[in-house]
Amino acid sequence: FFGNANDAGAPGPFGSDPDHIFTGVDAVSRDKQDLFGYQGSYAEQLSGRFRQVVTGSVATNRFLFHSPFGDSFSHNLRGVLNTRSEITVSNKDVLVVGFEYNREQIKNTYIADASNTPFLLPRTSLAYFAENRWSPGARWFVTTGLRVDDVRTRQLPTDAFGLRPLLPTSSTAKVNPRVSVAYLPYQPAGGAWLGATRLHGSFGTGIRAPNGFELAFTNNPRLKPEKSVSFDSGVEQRFFDGRAVLDATYFYNRFEDQIVVLGGSLANLSSFVSANLGNARAQG
């Protein structure tokens, strides 16, 4: 369980006010946010080689902003149910297979229909996954995995300003593989100031469906999920029995149909829509 509730005033800008919008300290405006999360897990060792684990969680995020110009709110809810079977194939090989159900919903002042009435926007994600953890030697660790994601979003109505067209019910499925390898070229006995050296690398693909904000502010009825290919490689050095760790990693991400929020002209900065960027990359 975790919880975080805060309530703070918004007295206005600091510094210059060339348009004379704020004539003094704003004693009315304030924001209130409540963050709460609940999680439970149950594990059963059914045999020496078979273990079943079930985990469930619920997270809520409720935000309210009160001002002289009117109130605005955002209510978010996310529930996740995960069940997985852990099968010990050998003392060097463990197989994990499972299923995950993910339900998200958002209701926001600015996610509204043609009558400017806020509505509840839900999304369901189903995932089937398998992972194999193999240690071919005392210094080698290899993990391979496959995940099938199926993201389903309900129909979205048009908005009151003609910006968002009717977005039909959609369902997107994608198979995402992943592999990671680690090797320990140096592993001293305990007590040495210079600890183990670990070389590591991974490769995989992923998918991210548009969130509620991105769906609400688009003029593209065919807004696509974002797909990615990622790679990383690095070296980790431990010191003083793991009390200090130094890690240097290079990463490369390539995106297809990356979802971006596009701003308007400088004369109209509040004008923005979400769209797909054909190809993009990030590295560092």
Pair of tokens at residue 224? 């696509």
- Token pair 């996740």 is found at 80
Could you report the per-residue pLDDT of 41-77, keeping only the tens digit for each?
A: 999 999 999 999 999 999 999 999 988 888 889 999 9
d(CA 84, CA 104): 21
What dihedral do alpha carbons 215, 216, 219, 224 form, nearest 10°? 0
> 């995995």: which residue's tokens?
145
pLDDT band for position 269 (cuts 50, 70, 90): very low
Cα 93 to chain center, whole Å?
Answer: 29
Tokens standing for 188? 């001293």
CA nearest to 210, candidates 221, 225, 222:
225
Mark residue 70 as left, alpha or beta (left: phi above 0; alpha: psi -120 to 50; beta: remaining): left
The lowest-confidence range among 120-134, 166-180, 212-226, 241-255 is 212-226
All structural domains of the chain: 2-283 (2.40.170.20)
pTM, rounded to two decimals:
0.80
| pLDDT of amino acid 270 | 44
**Count of alpha carbons within 13 Å of 279, Cβ hemisphere only?**
1
